Copies of this chain bind each other. A is one copy, B any other.
C-alpha cells in the first residue's frame, strides 16, 4: 500500500491541453455551484429558489424490477438459452429513503428530481471508484483521471467532439484552419458522421489484426509525417476502438499502443478511445484458431501477460487479464475514454461515462449542463439500486437479514462482466468454428467462364475458399473477407457485383441472413469505392445463444449455394441495388 501511495504521488500532473478546446468550449463560463450548497444544506432551509416540483407530484411511488443475480451466467441453461430459474431478485427503489448520506440515498425523491451533470451521486461515485481504482489503476499522471456520466457513448463522443473541434465552413473559412480527425480505415460510421458534418477532414489509418497500424505505408506515422497541409491542419484528434474494433474485430496490443501513443505525443494528438466491448475479450480465440491453422498462422498472444505487474492490480483477476486501456500509458492526460452500459446492461440504458484528465472532464461538464443536463434518473437509479441496494431499503426490510435483497456490489459487477464475457466467448467459438469448417466449397461443374490461368489452377483442385477471417480476440463482430476471386462468375460480373450479389443472395430464402456489407464502414469515398465491398460484417450477439451455430450454418450454406450459381439472374436487386450504406443505415 505504501508503494501504491508513492506510485501516485511521484507523478507529474497531466499536461495543459486547453489549446485543443474549441472556441465555443473556451467561451463557456466556469461554474462554482458548490459555494451555494452551504445554504442548501443548512437544516430547515426552505428552498424557494429552484423550480423543482415537489416529489409528491411525481406519479411514481416506487420503481422496481425483477433482476438477475450476477451469477446468472454461471447457472445451468435451458435449451432455449434462458436461465431455468426465474428472476431471483426484486429490486425496489422507494419514494423516499430516510438517510442524509447522499451516497446511500437511492430513492425517487432524489433520482427523479433535477440532479447534477456529473451523474446521480451514488452511481457516479461507484463508477468513479470503479474506473479509477479498478478498471484503470495505473493511470500515470498525478491525481488520476476524473469521470462524468453520459447518455451513452454516442453522446459522450458528441460532447468530446464539441469540446475538441471547431466547425469549418468551406464557403468562408481558410483551408489552413480546417481540422481533421483520425479514424481506422474501416470504422463505425456513426462516429464519422459525428465529425464529418462539422466540415472536418476524416483521415484514415490502416488497420491490421493488431489494430491501427503505427508504421508502414498508410500507418499512423506515414499519415502524420507526410501530411499534406493543402488539405488543412494536421489532425489533432484520433477516434479509435481498440478492443474488438467495429467492424474489423481487431484488438490493439500494448506494444502497438505504445507506438501509437508516442506518435500522438510527438504530433500533439488527443486520443478518443471508444470501448463498448472492453470486457468482451476472448483469450481462447487464439488457441481455437491455432487448432485449425497451426500456431504459426495466428497472431501473438495478447493475454495472460499480467500487464499490471509493474503497477497496481485492479484487485480482480478478471480485470487484470484484460488488455489495458490507452489510459494506462497516458502520461500526458491526452486520452479521453468512452464507456457505456449498452453492452454490459442494455443499449436502451443510454448510459455511459467518460474518463479523462480533470480539465477535459470539467469542460464536458459545462457542455452537459446546457444539453442533456444528466442521464435520465430512471436508468441511473435502477442501475444504482441494482449495484448498491442496501440492507435497510423497503424491499430488503421485509426479508431476513441474509444477502438476498442486497445489490450486486463491486464484486457482483465484476462477476457479471466476466460471466458476460464467457457467454460471448462461447458465441465467438460457435460462429467461428462453423465458418472455419465451412470455408471451402467444391466446384463440381464445368467452369463455363474460366479463362485465366489462376482460375484454371484451382479448377484442378476443385475446392476453393469462399472467404477468410481472423478469430476475433474481442468484441461482437466477425469481419469476413469475401474471396470473390474464387467465384466462378467473377469474370462476367466483376468483383464488386459478385460481393453485392452475395449480400442480396444471403437475404433470400432459405438462408435469410441479414449481414452488414463492408461498404457501410467506409469512412471515405475512396475506401467505399476501393476495397470495402469485399467485406461482410457478421455479429454473433443478436440471436439467442443456442442459435449461433444454426445461423452460422445458414451463412455457410448460403455462400456454398452462391458459389454454385450459374448466373445472378434471380438476384433482381443487383440492378437497382440500394445497399444499406446508401440508405444511411445507422449500424451499431
Contact = CB atoms under 8 A, between A and B. Distances in A.
A559 B190 CA distance: 57
Which 7 A-B residue pairings sit nearest by Cβ, starting from the closest? A348-B377, A112-B348, A112-B346, A31-B584, A27-B197, A376-B376, A61-B87
Interface string A192-236: 011011110000000000000000000000000000000000000
B177 A585 contact: no
Given A49-B587, A513-B46, A585-B33, A416 B59 contact: yes
Interface of A: 23-25, 27-36, 39-40, 42, 44-68, 72, 81-82, 86-87, 108, 111-115, 151-152, 154-155, 158, 166-167, 169, 171-174, 177, 190, 193-194, 196-199, 246, 276, 342-343, 345-351, 369-382, 386, 416, 420, 423, 476-477, 507, 509, 512-516, 537-545, 547, 551, 554-555, 578, 580, 583-588
A370 B154 contact: yes
Given A47-B514, A199-B24, A373-B350, A59 B345 contact: yes
B36 A585 contact: yes
Nearest to A511: B46
B350 A48 contact: no
Contact of A60 (B45, B49, B346, B540): B346
Contacts of A62: 64-66, 87
9 contacts: A28-B193, A46-B547, A48-B539, A48-B555, A52-B539, A52-B588, A151-B376, A190-B369, A349-B376
Given A166-B167, A194-B370, 17 more contacts: A31-B583, A32-B583, A36-B585, A49-B539, A51-B541, A52-B542, A60-B345, A60-B346, A112-B349, A114-B347, A152-B372, A154-B372, A172-B173, A348-B380, A350-B377, A375-B376, A379-B379
A398 to B, nearest CB: 15
Nearest to A111: B348
A112 B578 contact: no
Given A36-B580, A376-B375, A515-B48, A346 B58 contact: yes
Nearest to A382: B378
B516 A33 contact: no
Nearest to A244: B51
Given A60-B65, A377-B346, A541-B54, A583 B28 contact: no
Contacts of A32: 583-584
A189 to B, nearest CB: 10
A171 B27 CA distance: 12
A246 B36 contact: no
A410 to B, nearest CB: 15
